[in-house]
Amino acid sequence: MDNDTLIDQARHLYAVLQVEQYTKSLKNKTQFDRLDHLVMCAYCRYQRRLNRCVLCYQHRLNDCNRKFWGNEQQFCPRINHSRL
């Protein structure tokens, strides 16, 4: 999977949980609290995926901070890109 796919999946999960959270908040407090915890976990996952390359995210190698300046992409220092 590429990083954009992971980000889209995390964004979608967060949106679905947010809608469900709102509906449950009107019905049941304990279900709302549990769902609130799941929403926070999904949001944190989304934030982590935004800032790590796929390999660093999957294997938890390090906190790879990818920054984009215009069209230029900085690659993770742990990955050898000379083979590409």
Domain that holds residue 33: 3-83
Give me the torsion for CA of 14, 16, 22, 23, rounded to 10°: -160
Does 83 or 71 have the greater pLDDT score?
71
Written as six digits, the tokens of 49 are 């995926």
What does the pLDDT average to over 20-25? 74
On whether the pTM is more than 0.75, the answer is no
- Residue 23's pLDDT is what? 78
CA dist., res. 33 & res. 41, Å (int): 13
The number of distinct structural domains making up the chain is 1
